[in-house]
Structure 1
Amino acid sequence: MLDLDTRIAVAGAGSIGCYVGGCLALAGRDVAFLARPANERSLRAHGLRVTDLEGRDRVLEGADLSVSADPARAFHDAGLILVTVKSGASEEMARLIAAYAPKDAVVLSLQNGVDNAERIRAVARRPALSGMVPFNVVRDQPADAPLHLHRATEGAVLVEEGVEGLADLLSVEGCAVAARADMKAVLWGKLLFNLNNALVALSGLPLAEELRDRRWRLILADQIAEALGAMNRAGIRPAAAAGPLKPDWLPAALRLPDWLFGLLARRMLAIDPAARSSMWDDLERRRPTEIDALQGAVLRLAVQVGTDAPRTAGVVRLVREAEQAQRGSPGLTPDVFR
């Protein structure tokens, strides 16, 4: 059982980790951040600014933050560890958890993808729960000013049931949290929406602008249709985890004319104009993307059940080319998919 005094370690001081951890610290929770050395120095020197779509604007001074690049220190006495690193770093973080975290600490994955909790369990040799973050966080790191994390879309974080007090501990102002029993369905449902991350990255467009363009939505609809076909053969029933529409309706809704889609998807389009995707940010920062955890998961499932996913494979190829080019977003147009 977890209570409000439980020490929380945020394992990965990136956009999601700093936003969620910042909201928790502002609510008076006992939070420690595990950060890379450069991020540790920045947070200590300048602090953390947390804003959101609803208009909140709050600052944590560096002196008020517990942040360390040393996992032994960051994990000390932790009762809950939030894993917020990129999916490709799951095993690396699991090894640190196995080596330095208390044996009875609860581990919760708040990462993109569908299998991170399983991968963490296999390496850390301890239970790990799944979580789903539905919102987009925009990161800005100005010189000599607090690291700025802005939640640019809405939605409640969903966490796997099984640990009493988990949702109550994590649900704070600016970051609502609820427990769900069907997390496998939730994660696959979120994956469908995350297939758009690559299109934002390839186009370089803000998320709202990209979604309002039917030419890009047609490409997203094709990917989702391929994913749903593979999921259906595998017996996976995705939940409506990150939007009001049922997953099976998404391809048809995305293919609607722009004016009709705008009427139907008002909530989906209630997005800060600055919002893009974490994959766009990865390309801009010349870092590996999470394409293998997103489109890659669909391709692996398609192979497993014997279906084709050519549109998804084409998106993967273009993202790989952009990663190798090391020039940021390539700024492609939808015509490239013809």
Structure 2
Amino acid sequence: MIGINSRIVIAGAGSIGCYVGGRLASAGKAVTLLVRPRMIEGLQQNGLRITDPDGSEKLVEPGQFFLTSDPEIAFRQADIILVTVKSGATEEMAKSIRENASSDIVVVSLQNGVGNAETLRQHLHPEATVISGMVPFNVVQSEPSVTPLSVRRTMPGTILIDNTLDGLADVLSVPGLSVQAHPDMLGILWGKLLTNLNNALNALSNLPLVEQLADRSWRLLVADQLSEGLKVVRAHGITPAKVQGAPPAVLPSILRLPNLLFRIVAARMLAINPHARSSMWEDLSRGRATEIDYLQGVIIRMADEKNIAVPLTRKISACVKKVEGKPLRSHSVEDIRG
């Protein structure tokens, strides 16, 4: 039974995980961060700094959360596990949870992509409760040399979760971190995936999101890619829901507006931290594998099933794969369009 005193584990405490875990811990929740071994010493000594879009900061003291790199220790007494690993690590994390957590554990996927909850269900005990979730904001983590470790949320937004477990949203919602139950999480996840198609373009541009979207040539590229994605999901009978701001179906038209009109119509879209970039930019800049196969890759596979041409999506995916593991460089729109 979940409740106000539920023990919460952040499974994969990277940027999103540290921010969510830090917010929960600062509100007095019993939080364990499952982190990489190299992160433990710094967090134990210096705590965790969380920064909100308005620039306000809060230091979460080391004594406010528990740290471990051992899944057995993290999961054995957990009531709720929030999975925040990259999509490619979902199956491995699910197997670790099954091995170490109670069979009736509550597991919430706070990940990009549309298939992670199903992957978790496939590999967890049948008694486990798996909840789909969607985080509408990006979080940027400081460089490893920065003390204390800092995670900066770059935009507002409410985390949405499936409404199948009464009371869960209330348990997870704390000051500075709003969580709400939603009746159409499948539509929400597809809406987020379509929005996240820009993650790759933002990474390749090597520009802050505000600067990228201020440039109409980049917006036209985003709009053309989004139009391909919309065509594919519609062919599969999927109706993507509005995540925040405009519905996905009208975004291409908004993105194609001249600069003056775009700045008026998309004022909320541009009301983000001026330094904000996509999570894929962070992955490429730090030499990590990206989630391109779980974003553009999904659209490509679904397009193949319906024999739909998605040439731009394929080019963008190929560009990202070509630069993974290499020093990040700035691409132009012409580089990508070819």
Question: Residues 242-291 of structure 1, C-alpha deviation per residue, up to 9 Å, x if partnerless?
Answer: x3212211111111111111100110100101110110111111110010
| Equivalent in the alignment of 2:331 | 332
Does residue 313 of structure 2 align to residue 302 of structure 1? Answer: no
Structure 2 residue 195 is the aligned partner of structure 1 residue 215: no
The residue aligned with 2:84 is: 84
Alignment-mate amino acid for residue 141 of structure 1: E
Q: What pairs with 1:198-237 in structure 2 (closer than 5 Å)?
A: 198-237=200-239
What is the identity, as a one-letter code, of the residue corresponding to 2:267?
R
1:48-197 matches, cutoff 5 A: 48-125=48-125, 126-141=128-143, 143=145, 145-197=147-199
Could you give the per-residue CA deviations for residues 165-219 of structure 1, whole angstroms, max 9, x where no partner exists?
A: 1100111111111101111100000111101110111011001111111111111
Quote the RMSD (CA, aligned, Å). 1.2
TM-score, normalised via structure 2 length: 0.96
Give 2:272's aligned residue. 271
**Displacement after TM superposition at 1:76 (Å):** 2.6
1:144: how far off? 6.1
Unaligned ranges ≥5, structure 1: none
Judged with a 3 Å threshold, the aligned counterparts in structure 2 of structure 1 residues 217 and 82 are, in CA distance, closer, same or farther, namely same
Cα distance in 1 between the residues matched to 2:94 and 2:144:
31
* Distance across 1 between alignment mates of 2:104 and 2:9: 13
SS at match of 1:138: strand
Instruction: Determine helix, strand or coil for the equivalent of 2:291.
Output: coil
> What is the distance in 2 between the residues matched to 1:145 and 1:37?
17
Contact 1:208–1:275 (8 Å) recurs in 2: yes
Percent same amino acid among aligned pairs?
49
Deviation at 1:141, TM superposition (A): 3.5
Q: CA deviation at 1:142?
A: 5.5
* Shift, 1:118, TM fit: 0.4
- Partner amino acid for 2:291? E
2:34 — aligned with what? 34
Structure 1 runs (4+) greater than 6 angstroms displaced: none
Q: Is the 8 A contact 1:33 1:66 kept in 2?
A: yes
Q: Contact 1:13–1:39 (CA<8 Å) still a contact in 2?
A: no
Q: How many residues align?
A: 335
1:292 — aligned with what? 293
